[in-house]
Amino acid sequence: RLRALNRLQVILQHLKMSKQTDSTAEVLLEKKGGAGIITLNRPKALNALNLPMIQQIYPQIKAWEQDPETFLIIIKGTGGKAFCAGGDIRAITEAGKVGDKLTQDFFRGEYRLNNAVGTCKKPYVALIDGITMGGGVGVSVHGHFRVATEKTVFAMPETAIGLFPDVGGGYFLPRLSGKVGYYLALTGCRLKGRDVLKVGIATHFVESEKLPALEKDLIALKSPSKEKIADLLNSYHMKCTIDQEKEFVLDEHMEKINSLFSANSMEEIVKKLKQDGSPFAMKQLETLNKMSPTSLKLTLRQLREGASMSLQEVLQMEYRLSQACMKGHDFYEGVRAVLIDKDQSPKWKPAALEEVTDEFVDNCFKPLGNDDLKL
């Protein structure tokens, strides 16, 4: 009888918990122990964020922040391939073509969510197992703890689709050591596994198969402080020996990255790369030549300005840039070439850096009056 009763209590407890855990829901929001858990649940779309997901996560973070029984927030993805591969670019493209206001609502909602993560008063733990790009970086990198694994693939590949590394990229990228953030932003270079930790995107590195145990231990912590959470993450991190001996993939190039990407203009960066002439420099030149010239110019300025701004100021600036890109040509052309037709040969307009005028770039950064992002 007692066993049956206990089992009933367990089932009831589970039902209470799973009122939102319908497995078809695109995002699952659960409370387990002292932890609020956000699970991105669009595995077929590599957990890409769409507006309905954003609109569910934002108020939940705000509610947990106020809840005295919630001591930490954990965010993760399902499916084993990706934490979150970005934002729902296709939907935004479709909306932009017909002048639908999703092009405003999406970026507004996403950047507000990025700010909620960046200002969250409760310790926020992102388990960035698998592909973590664009929008996935935005819901992880601004939090207190980011746990990478051997499966993590980080990139901000936006210049290849006529966009710019948004979601607060203008805040965290220029704050990475040397000029590596500028390099990652302009070239869209991918980093894998432990390199994501070494560059400063992740705070901890844990074996992918140990994540369920880590999550269980985080949930089991009794009213933990940030320090206690850090101690637990550190203990897992210290035990992980995968790729421990491996050198940081960009190590041998850091000196070049720091000098070549420190120029004040894109034209100057290109000139420096040509003058350098090393295989590494030529490879970067080849990559930059494929990117939208407009995106490259916007991105360089975004990072240079963002370096001395608060996260809120950066998100406001990026909202202005997002709206400029929605009105332009390159974003739609980039999405067509990379994601829809997949011919990988976008026809950028303007086609050369020299043709993207300072006046045009200045206009993209101008305040939008009543339409500005309010945080």
pTM, to two decimals: 0.93
Collapsed DSSP state (helix, strand, coil) of residue 330: helix
In the block, residue with structure tokens 């809120």:
312
Collapsed DSSP state (helix, strand, coil) of residue 264: coil
Catalytic amino acids?
A: 87, 135, 158, 166
In the block, residue with structure tokens 């950064």:
365
- Model pLDDT, residue 4: 65
Tell me whether residue 13 is in a domain: no
- Model pLDDT, residue 24: 84
CB 38, CB 92: distance < 8 Å: no
Tokens standing for 45?
């779309």
Which residue, 324, 344, 326, is CA-closest to 334? 344
Tokens standing for 190?
């991918």
Tell me whether residue 66 is in a domain: yes
First to last CA, the chain: 55
Tell me whether residue 17 is in a domain: no
Distance CA 211, CA 209 (A): 6
The H or E element containing residue 228 is helix 226-239
Collapsed DSSP state (helix, strand, coil) of residue 349: coil
Tell me whether residue 353 is in a domain: yes
Residue 240 maps to which CATH number? 3.90.226.10
Tell me whether residue 150 is in a domain: yes
Tell me whether residue 6 is in a domain: no
- Model pLDDT, residue 188: 98
Tell me whether residue 361 is in a domain: yes
34 lies in which domain range?
Answer: 27-371
Q: What is the pLDDT of residues 53-97, one digit of tens each?
A: 999 999 999 999 999 999 999 999 999 999 999 999 999 999 999
Distance CA 68, CA 72 (A): 10
In the chain, which stretches have pLDDT less than 50?
A: 18-19
- Model pLDDT, residue 184: 98
- Model pLDDT, residue 266: 98
What is the tally of structural domains in the chain? 1
Distance CA 59, CA 346 (A): 38
Tell me whether residue 234 is in a domain: yes
